[in-house]
Amino acid sequence: MNVGLQSGKWNKRLFVLMKSSWCISGCLLLLFLSFNSCKEQKEHTAPAILEKDSVALMTSYGVNTLISDSGVIKYRIVTEEWEVNENRNPPRWIFDKGLFLEQFDEKFHVQSYIQCDTAYYYTQQKIWELHSRVKILTKDGLKFQSEQLFWDENKHELYSYVFSRLITPERTLQGTYFRSDEKMTKYYVSNTKGSFEKGDFDNNADMTDSAKVATDSIQKARRPQTEPRRLSVPVLKH
């Protein structure tokens, strides 16, 4: 009888040990599966952004403000979005949704209006970089159009290396290189595509009748009679 009791106790202990081993095995299996799932999840996770290059210090919306330098108001900024990013190299202001600038002189008189689709201002170099549909209108009626323009505030000059058009009250200049002072009173255009004075297309009205007849005779001699005569001079479209 004692042998049977001891055998029963031994069986109970054996069952408890087996049950414990099953629990331990189950826990180890769960840990293994969870470790693998975490490992797989980590492999599909994007790496952390370590650089601060894309973090803006400030972003303002619906801006209409005056900018001054050394106590003197230089221009007015009107824009939908103004991002100040000092973490980029070089630090800059970013205007991705268009920019309108109103430039003033020392006495707060408007000198010019500047407009473009995209602009960057490099705060350390004090250089403006304007892109896409850049337009300038000065107080003297001078107009400038280009797809790119730089404005160096330290040197007080404007320049562009792409096709630009300058329209003054007297003539139209266009070329692939432009340089001017920031007031646009002294300017230079090279690699010009044309220089047309306003009165160039009105000179024919002052021709005498004899000169017109001579011109018509030369034109008739150089081309067949069946070809229609050109009655107008092509005018440059602005």
What pLDDT is recorded for position 48?
Answer: 55
**pTM higher than 0.85, yes or no?**
no
Q: Are 131 and 116 in contact (CB under 8 A)?
A: yes
Q: Which amino acid makes up residue 64?
A: N
| Six-digit token string for 44 | 């599909």
What pLDDT is recorded for position 195?
Answer: 54
Rounded CA separation 110/118 (Å): 22
**Domains of the chain, each with CATH number or no CATH:** 58-198 (2.60.450.10)
| Six-digit token string for 221 | 């001699």
Instruction: Name the DSSP class of 210.
Output: H
- Name the strand (E) or helix (H) holding 28: helix 2-43
pLDDT, averaged in runs of 10, over the chain (238 residues): 50 55 61 57 52 74 92 93 93 97 91 97 96 96 97 96 94 94 92 58 40 39 42 36
Rounded CA separation 145/147 (Å): 7
HSE toward the beta carbon, residue 177, CA cutoff 13 A: 3
What pLDDT is recorded for position 70?
Answer: 82
What pLDDT is recorded for position 206?
Answer: 42
- Name the strand (E) or helix (H) holding 215: helix 209-222
